[in-house]
């Protein structure tokens, strides 16, 4: 049975459905030698090319939905390439065959913490849709005094340039002197919303870390710059949020040899992160 071209490309991991629609509209995709149009439906045996390069098409049964949790450091941008040469969140991810990782949302360059990636562009597209209001939790370090009145305003709502906004939850998490930590949660995904809420009450944010996405928490053992593959249970939790059928397979093996290999990979990630930090801290040789 034929399916929409952008849906098939997204499911196969070539990008989110929104990205695929933009590529089709720009004339970058062809089907059987003809430039594709938005809304085209194709059969499984069609020959599809992106920028002249033939790409693989997979049926729903052939695709294994994978999700990575990545501990984004500050200083990385959420783009595949940067004209200024800055590091991106895709630089350290594992390579995939005939597909690519799609980020579920974004974190700005000065924000660190939990960022999810999936091989299923349709899953990413649905999770990022405004109608799918997944709660996100952040640890926030503020600079300066924060009064009870300010906290109350953030709970009840303040006016931003794109409309009213508020935190679903806000609670103190300690701190010293004028540096205080807070945990805040909200279900909207507007651009820089957490920082803009604090700025609206004239409070400066000195650090911002995403610690939770829905029920997926940032693993405490995951170093900055490290990634881990989510188990099937958590993958299906996300698929349920997105209104998709559950996945039945996983790339994570449950036998003792697979567990051992996973531990080796985890150790390699930590060593690579430590090595990079050490290299970055050394003075440049003249």
Tens of pLDDT, residues 79-110: 888 888 899 999 999 988 767 899 999 999 99
Q: Measured between alpha carbons, how far is 191 from 199 in angstroms, rounded to an integer?
A: 14
Residue 251: pLDDT over 90: no
One fold for both 67-130+217-280 and 136-213?
A: yes
For the chain, give the longest Cα–Cα distance. 66
The residue ranges of every structural domain in the chain are 3-54, 67-130+217-280, 136-213
- From CA 20, how far away is CA 98, in angstroms rounded? 15
pLDDT digits (tens, 9 = 90+) for 56-86: 887 667 778 999 999 999 999 998 888 888 9
- What would the mean pLDDT of 109-127 be, rounded to a whole number? 93
**Can you give the pTM of this predicted structure?**
0.77
By C-alpha distance, which of 259, 235, 226 is closest to 94?
Answer: 226
What's the sign of the alpha-carbon dihedral 117, 118, 119, 120?
negative
Class of the CATH-defined domain 67-130+217-280 = alpha beta
Residues 2, 42 contacting (CB under 8 angstroms): yes
SS3 19: helix
* CATH no. for 136-213: 3.30.2350.10
The one catalytic residue among 108, 148, 162, 255: 108
Q: How confident is the model at residue 253 (pLDDT cuts 50, 70, 90)?
A: low
**pLDDT higher at 81 or 236:** 236
Average pLDDT over residues 195-217: 95
Please say if the pLDDT value at position 176 is more than 70.
Answer: yes
Q: Is 3-54 assigned to CATH 3.10.290.10?
A: yes
CB-based contacts of 255: which residues, under 8 Å, 6+ apart? none
| 245's tokens | 């059928």
Check if the beta carbon of residue 50 is closer than 8 Å to that of residue 35: no
d(CA 117, CA 235): 11
Residue 108 is among the residues annotated as catalytic for this protein: yes
Query: What's the pLDDT at 260?
Result: 45
pLDDT at 228: 95
Contact residues for 189 (Cβ-Cβ < 8 A; gap 6+): 105, 128, 130, 133, 134, 136
């Amino acid at each position: 049975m034929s399916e929409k071209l952008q849906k098939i490309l997204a499911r196969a991991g070539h990008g989110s459905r929104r990205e695929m629609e933009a590529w089709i509209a720009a004339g970058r995709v062809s089907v059987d030698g003809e430039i594709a149009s938005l809304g085209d439906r194709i059969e499984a045996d069609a020959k599809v090319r992106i920028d002249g390069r033939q790409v693989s098409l997979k049926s729903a049964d052939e695709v294994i939905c994978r999700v990575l949790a990545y501990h984004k450091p500050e200083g990385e941008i959420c783009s595949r390439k940067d004209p200024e040469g800055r590091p991106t969140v895709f630089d350290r991810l594992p390579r995939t065959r005939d597909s690519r990782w799609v980020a579920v949302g974004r974190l700005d360059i000065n924000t660190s913490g939990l960022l999810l990636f999936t091989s299923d562009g349709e899953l990413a597209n649905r999770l990022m849709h405004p109608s799918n209001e997944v709660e996100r939790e952040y640890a926030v370090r503020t600079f300066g005094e924060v009064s009870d009145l300010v906290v109350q305003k953030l709970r009840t709502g303040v006016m931003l340039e794109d409309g009213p906004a508020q935190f679903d939850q806000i609670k103190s998490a300690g701190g010293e002197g004028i540096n205080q930590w807070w945990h805040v949660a909200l279900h909207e995904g507007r651009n820089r919303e957490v920082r803009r809420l604090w700025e609206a009450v004239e409070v400066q944010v000195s650090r911002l870390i995403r610690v939770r996405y829905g029920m997926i928490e940032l693993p405490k053992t995951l170093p900055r710059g490290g990634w881990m593959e989510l188990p099937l249970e958590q993958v299906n939790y996300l698929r349920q949020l997105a209104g998709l059928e559950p996945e039945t397979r996983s790339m994570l093996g449950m036998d003792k040899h697979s567990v051992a290999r996973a531990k080796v990979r985890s150790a390699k990630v930590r060593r690579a992160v430590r090595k990079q930090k050490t290299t970055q801290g050394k003075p440049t040789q003249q």
